[in-house]
Chains A and B, each alone.
Chain A
Amino acid sequence: MGRRTVLIALVLLLIPTIAYAHVVGAFKDFLVGISDEEATRRLVEELEDTRLQIENLTPHVERLSAEFALKQDEQIPLLQFYQSIGPDVLLGFVFDAETVVDVLANLRLVEMKLDEDLAALNRLYREYLQVKSTRDALASYEQLLVMIESNLKAREAFLEEYGHLNEEEMAQAAERLWAKEAGILDEILLEDMEKIDRRIRQVTVRQTPRSPFRIEEELLNQYTELDYYIQSDHVYVHHNKQGVDIILIGMVTRDDPHTASLKFEAGFMNGVRISDLYMNQMLGFVIDYGKLHPTSADFYVEQTNGAIIITPAEMAGE
């Protein structure tokens, strides 16, 4: 009985549990069962399928982009022309017309034509953005799959080395590996936290003074040691060094009116689910909103594909 309790306790520390309701999408599909030998095959298929979808979408995105650029190039001079000749055209309408109704009708026709052209241009732009956002989301998903692939490879290596052991010994091996890596990972996380805190304004972008702040994945990863993949549902952190592959999964949420932080919910080391007990001890970066926007009283924070969005509360539309 004692031996069994020890075994269960040890295995629970590092072997995947079904407590993966919050381990979403691809992670649930590929990493939740250590003995799932089909995972790699399914992952490769999924990767191929995703890449194919991206390949199919890319020409579409490029075509729409080119089409929009062309139409826009046609439209801008036209609008500038209308603007510059506006008074002359109007006077022409007036002097050529016999009645006020003619003048108004001609003006309306010009307005309608302009509205039509602009609406068509806008539709094209929306269509371009729409297809591009689908393609970008697939590209993000592909990044995740590649990250998982790396984790699965590390799992294969782990099983190759320790697969012959019984559960207790295997759990102990995983425990030893984690004990060794956890300290290193902690240090790296802390370093990243300090870097982000120190350079919060450098990793943040803002389009206009009335726009939200954005922490963009690509820019963030230029400064950090770990790789951060920001998706609309979660933030994924990847660490791969010397045969150890760790993925941490978390979300950025507001702590108080001045800070938000990345809080981890789940993690995998070499394809083995890390216990929630350990996850609660891992600290993600902190966003010091007070430093970013000292005059603001509060903010909203959300994740989107590729970026964390921080919106000053003062911008709330009333």
Chain B
Amino acid sequence: MERRDEELKRRTFLLSLLMIVCVGAASVYAHVQNENNLYSDIEYSEAKQEIVLLHGIKAIAREGGASVFKPLDLLARSDLAYWAGNFRGLVGTPKDIREAALEQGLVASLEGYATYADVSQAYFDGAAPVPEDLAEAMLSREQFALYMGTFFSEPVNGKTLFDMAGLDAGPDGIVEDVEKEHVTEGGNSYDVFRIKVGGQWYQVSNHPKILNGPVDLTQWIDKRIEFSLYAAESAEADGRVLDIIKVGEAQFTEDEIAAEPGVSMIDDPGIDEADRSNEEAPSSEEEPSSFIGFGGSTNTASGNSGMDGAGSGPAEQDTSRPLPIILIIGGILLIAIVAWLFLKRK
């Protein structure tokens, strides 16, 4: 038994050595992250852009486990301690960071749920304005993102959140050209992008956070960049890489970025009968059945919602129909009424 333990230790040591040998190959994989792949559950959140940006500036951080943000959950003080501690430069394991945040007074406690005042204290030493009458109100993680999002543009003690994160503004304007280089290094393959804006080439970081655009940057040509930020760690001007890029809204449709269930192509009348299968598309039993027919005729073989894009519920989509009819008729009648009243007065 002892021999086996010794053997295991020896093996572990050797493997550790091998791991160290391979460190050089570890940090080079590119993965462009946007609002659809950063977390799996922020597609319908009103704060999805803020969440991506806060993640980009490291004001929030993932801590292993499932890739979920849980926007509607109340913000726990222990999570606030970890996020704010991380943002303010505390290092160590998540437990270390939480304890250090508590020691340094970033949070008053690691128990319970955070309030707006707690958030202001954790990130801004209490200097950030808190919505009126909400100082002691608890907030959801989505509300936290929306609240923090106000400080992207609104300075606290003369600094915006971007300033606090040490990020400098990058270029904006139309993307004239994009280059993708497929690089293999140490057995890992990855894509590196460069974009040309205003006649100048800019290197994009290996893990950029992007908003409103697809993750394949080669498809950005002729699209407009609303704003971009350089990565904080790039101190030298030549080595600067763009880490956060926001493409102007409506450059790409919601559909291009968003996910929505649909009908099987086997229901498409244009498909050859020979290609049809006996198997039917799966259906989601949990979806309220009326979701597919709220005032309308949307038919989904996958049994999912009749939404026509992210964030647009059926109430938005279909219930707009009755109102215009009333208004059109009303408009015509109003003209008649005004005329009638005018004549009546005479």
Binding site for B on A (CB under 8 A): 8, 11-12, 15-22, 25, 29, 33-35, 46, 49-50, 53, 61-62, 65-66, 68-69, 72-73, 75-76, 79-80, 82-83, 86-87, 90-91, 94, 99-100, 103-104, 107, 111, 114, 118-119, 121-122, 125-134, 136-138, 140-141, 164, 167, 199, 201-202, 204-208, 210-214, 216, 218-219, 222-223, 231-233, 253-254, 265, 275-277, 280, 292, 298, 300-305, 307, 309, 311, 313, 315-318
Contacts and interface: CB of A to CB of B under 8 A. Distances in A.
A18 B276 CA distance: 46
A154 to B, nearest CB: 19
Nearest to B289: A69
A121 B18 contact: no
Given A18-B19, A35-B12, A219-B282, A83 B36 contact: no
Contacts of B275: 199, 201-202
Contacts of B43: 133, 304
Nearest to A58: B286
B264 A204 contact: yes
A280 B19 contact: no
Interface string B253-296: 10111111111111010010001110101100011111100110
B265 A204 contact: yes
Nearest to A95: B337
Contacts of B334: 103-104
Given A11-B14, A121-B319, A86 B262 contact: no
A75 B333 contact: no
A212 B15 contact: no
Contacts of A34: 15
A167 B11 contact: yes
Contact of A232 (B67, B288, B329, B340): B67
A197 B72 CA distance: 41
Contacts of B256: 212, 300, 311, 315-317
A115 to B, nearest CB: 9
Interface stretch (B24-32, B89-97, B228-236): B24-32
Interface residues of B, number: 101
B28 A21 contact: yes
Given A82-B322, A275-B187, A317-B251, A72 B288 contact: yes
B219 interface: yes
Interface stretch (B113-121, B143-151, B310-318): B310-318
Contact of A265 (B29, B251, B338): B29
Contact of B301 (A90, A128, A205): A205
Given A129-B305, A133-B40, A307 B259 contact: yes
Contacts of B71: 130, 134
A178 B268 CA distance: 43
B26 A276 contact: no
A298 to B, nearest CB: 8
Interface in B1-51: 4, 8, 11-12, 14-15, 18-23, 25-29, 31, 36-41, 43-46
Nearest to A221: B282
A141 B66 contact: yes
A82 B332 CA distance: 17
Given A11-B18, A129-B44, A254 B216 contact: yes
Interface in B54-78: 64-68, 70-72
Q: Tell me whether chain A's interface is mostly helix, strand or loop, or mixed.
A: helix
Given A202-B265, A214-B261, A17 B319 contact: no
A21 B207 CA distance: 11
Nearest to A99: B341
B37 A29 contact: no
Contacts of B313: 121-122, 125-126, 129
A303 B319 contact: no
Contact of A22 (B29, B65, B271): B29
Given A25-B65, A80-B322, A137-B66, 5 more contacts: A11-B15, A33-B15, A79-B322, A133-B40, A307-B259
Contacts of A317: 250-253, 256
A130 B44 contact: yes
A67 to B, nearest CB: 9
7 tightest Cβ-Cβ pairs between the two chains A and B: A207-B262, A276-B187, A137-B40, A22-B29, A125-B313, A141-B66, A304-B259
Contact of A141 (B65, B215, B305, B323): B65
Contact of A73 (B258, B281, B290): B290
B208 interface: no
A317 B295 CA distance: 27
Given A87-B333, A94-B337, A137 B18 contact: no
